[in-house]
Structure 1
C-alpha cells in the first residue's frame, strides 16, 4: 500500500533527503516549507528520479509557525485522500546564522533570537503535529522530530539548543498519548551534517570542519542521507516497538573526546 508522508522543511538538506528516501519506496510525499520555488524544484527533481518506484513528491508552501497555516496544510493533505502515515518535522534552523552584526546584542537582540528560534524549531513542529494528529494513521502511524546534538551540548548562544531541547519532552508526552492508537513518536538528533544550509552548502572553513570531525569516533562528517536512513527506519515495521526515544546520529561526537 502506498504511504502518505508529510515532511516539513522538505525542500533542502535533511528534509530533502528524507523526501528522497520515502519517494524511493514509492510513497506519496508532501514536502512543506516556506519557499515555494525551492519546494517545487525539489518535488520535480525527486519525482523524476524515483518515477520507477511510483514515488511522487508534491510541494506545499506554508509558514508552519502560524496556526492557520498548519490547519491549511492539514486540509490540503486530506483533500489528497487518506490518512497521514508518516509525519517528519524537519523544518527549522538557527536564526543567528547569517544574522547581521549586532542583531543579537542586548535584551532586544536576546528577545529576537530566542523568540525566532522558538518559532522556527518548536512552533513549526508542534503546530503541524497538532493539526495532523487526528488524521495520523492508527495503528501504524509514525511521527519523527528532527532535534540536534545542540540539545545536549549547547549551541553557543543558547536559543537554538533550547528550542531543539524543547522538542524532547514533547516527544515523550506525545508518545504516551498516541501509543494506545498504535502510533510511535521519536526524534533524531544529528551532529555535524555536511551538504546542508545549516553548515553552509559550500562547506565550513577547514579548521572548523576538522574540529567537528575530530570530535566524532567515526572520523567523518555526517551527510543528510545518514539522517534520512534513520528516519526511514523509525517509520518502518522494524521499529514498531521504538517510541519516546531521541536517536543520536553524530558519530559519537556528543560523548566528546
Structure 2
C-alpha cells in the first residue's frame, strides 16, 4: 500500500504573529512547514526548532527562508532557493500548500494617507501575493491549496484603515480568479479574513490598548477579540485533508464581528 507523502506548507511571514501560529497549528495537524521571514531570522529559526523538537517523534521537518514580500524582482531567485530546499531536505520537487500571509499594518485617515505608504502596502499585500504565487506555480503540486490572508476590514469599515483594506479587497478578488484559473490543476484557492486579533500587528494596538480592545470586543458576537491561536487553527482547518472541496470562498474568522 502506497503511503501518502506528508504535506508541505509554505507560509510567508511565518516568524511571528499569525504566521507563527499557523506554522505550529499545521505542524500539529501533520504538515511539514517552510516559513519565510524578512528580518527576524532568529525568531524564524526558533519556530523551526520548536516544530522539529516538539514533533520529533512524528518526524516533522521545518525550514526557514528569507523573503522580502514587497520585492517582486526577487521572487524568481526565491523560487530557485525553494526548489533547491525541497530537493535537498525533502527529496521532492513540489510543495502542497501556500499561505500568503506576510504583511504589515497601517493606520491613517484617508485624508492623511501618504502615497509612499499606499505604495508600500500595495507591494506587500497585493502585488506581492499575486506575483509570488505566479512564480511558485511550478512548485505547487496539482491538487494543492492556496490560502490568501485578507482582513475583516474588507467587509466592515473602520476609519483609518482604508488603504490597508483596499489591498485586502484586491486579494479577495484575486482569490476567486486564481480558483477559476487553477481549477484544472485541482488547486483550491480560498481567502481567510481575520477580525481584530491580539498580536503585535499594526504596532500591537488591539493587544496593548485596553480601551480599544474592550470596544472591539463589544462588536463581536462572542464578546472578545481574537487570539493568534484562533487564526492558526482556522488556517489549519482550511488546509486539512477533509476541506479540499472548499474553493473560491471568503471565510471570515472574526468571532462574529459586526453581524
Q: Same fold (TM over 0.5)?
A: yes
1:44 to 21, 43, 49: 49
Q: Structure 1 pair 41/214, CA: closer, same or farther in 2 (3 Å)?
A: same
Q: Structure 1 pair 202/236, CA: closer, same or farther in 2 (3 Å)?
A: closer
Q: Structure 1 pair 201/9, CA: closer, same or farther in 2 (3 Å)?
A: farther
Question: 5 Å matches for 1:16-55?
Answer: 16-35=20-39, 36-55=41-60
Task: For residue 23 of structure 1, give the secondary structure of its aligned residue in structure 2.
Answer: helix
Q: How far apart are 1:168 and its partner, in Å?
A: 0.8
1:118 to 107, 119, 122: 122
Query: In 1, are the aligned partners of 2:27 and 2:51 still within 8 Å (CA)?
Result: yes
Measured in 2, the distance between the counterparts of 1:253 and 1:188 equals: 14
Measured in 1, the distance between the counterparts of 2:229 and 2:150 equals: 16
* Number of residue pairs aligned between Structure 1 and Structure 2: 247
As a proportion of its length, which structure holds more helix? 2
Query: In 2, are the aligned partners of 1:149 and 1:254 still within 8 Å (CA)?
Result: no
The aligned counterpart of 1:131 is 135
Q: TM-score, normalised by structure 2?
A: 0.88
1:41-100 Cα distance to aligned partner (Å, 9 max, x none): 222233222223222221101112222322222112211232120000110122448xxx
The aligned counterpart of 2:181 is 177
Q: Does 1:83 align with 2:87?
A: no
Q: How far apart are 1:192 and its partner, in Å?
A: 1.1
Root-mean-square deviation over aligned CA pairs: 2.2
Q: Give the unaligned 5+ runs of structure 1.
A: none
The aligned counterpart of 1:232 is 236
Q: Give the unaligned 5+ runs of structure 2.
A: 88-92
Task: For residue 188 of structure 1, give the secondary structure of its aligned residue in structure 2.
Answer: strand
